[in-house]
């Protein structure tokens, strides 16, 4: 059975309580449970990892090669700052879908730039929890194609 890594970056451990007007009331546990359930429906295993530390996220990306068939990543603020995450993603040669709960293009200008997007197969933003499920569907379609 194929597996996908759901990778969440800084401050996403605070989902449900952090700026609910922007990110909603869905918790990270809700996101992970929904991804696991959706993955089971699609015949894929889901592994979840969250860290507030850039190096730990890079290590998780490196460790995914040869273990997972793809990655769904919400890199949080590192999306807009981390060339190191971009390089890690391009190094492992796995399909990656970038996800954001909010529409980053409707927010502050600095959030409009993504270092992840150039090395991802696509970006989904603004759909809340549903964006993660859409990303999983995109990967499943990529695996089939």
User: Would you call 62 a catalytic residue per the annotation?
Assistant: no
- Which DSSP string do the residues of 54-112 spell out, in sequence order? HHHHHHHHHHHTTT-SEEEEE-GGGGGT-HHHHHHHHHHT--EEEEESS-GGGS-GGGG
pTM above 0.85, yes or no: yes
Among 38, 78, 100, 132, the one annotated catalytic:
100
Tens of pLDDT, residue by residue over 11-56, are 999 988 877 776 678 999 999 999 999 999 999 999 999 999 999 9
- When mean pLDDT is compared across 25-34, 65-74, 78-87, 101-110, the lowest value belongs to 101-110
What percent of the chain is predicted at pLDDT more than 90?
81
Confidence of residue 106 (pLDDT cuts 50, 70, 90): confident
User: E-assigned strands of 12-65?
Assistant: 45-50
Task: Tell me the two tokens of residue 126.
Answer: 């603004």
User: Would you call 115 a catalytic residue per the annotation?
Assistant: no
Say yes or no to pLDDT of 68 above 80.
Answer: yes
- pLDDT for 23 equals 67
Beta strand pairing call for 45-50 and 96-100: unpaired
- pLDDT for 135 equals 98
Q: What is the mean pLDDT of the chain?
A: 94
Tens of pLDDT, residue by residue over 120-138, are 999 999 999 999 999 999 9
- pLDDT for 22 equals 66
- pLDDT for 16 equals 87
Please state the domain extents for the chain. Answer: 3-144
The second-level CATH assignment, the architecture, of 3-144 is 3-Layer(aba) Sandwich (3.40)
Confidence of residue 112 (pLDDT cuts 50, 70, 90): confident
């Amino acid at each position: 059975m194929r597996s996908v890594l759901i990778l969440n970056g800084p401050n996403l451990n605070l989902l449900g309580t952090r700026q609910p007007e922007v990110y909603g009331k869905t918790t990270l546990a809700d996101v992970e449970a929904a991804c696991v359930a959706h993955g089971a429906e699609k015949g894929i295993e889901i592994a979840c990892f969250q860290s507030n530390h850039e190096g730990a996220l890079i290590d998780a990306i490196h460790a995914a090669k040869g273990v997972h068939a793809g990655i769904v990543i919400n890199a949080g603020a590192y999306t807009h700052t981390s060339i190191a995450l971009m390089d890690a993603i391009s190094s492992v040669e796995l399909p990656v879908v970038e996800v954001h709960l909010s529409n980053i293009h409707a927010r502050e200008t600095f959030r409009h730039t993504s270092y992840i997007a150039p090395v991802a197969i696509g970006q989904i933003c603004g759909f809340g929890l549903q964006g993660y499920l859409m990303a999983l569907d995109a990967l499943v379609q990529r695996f089939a194609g």
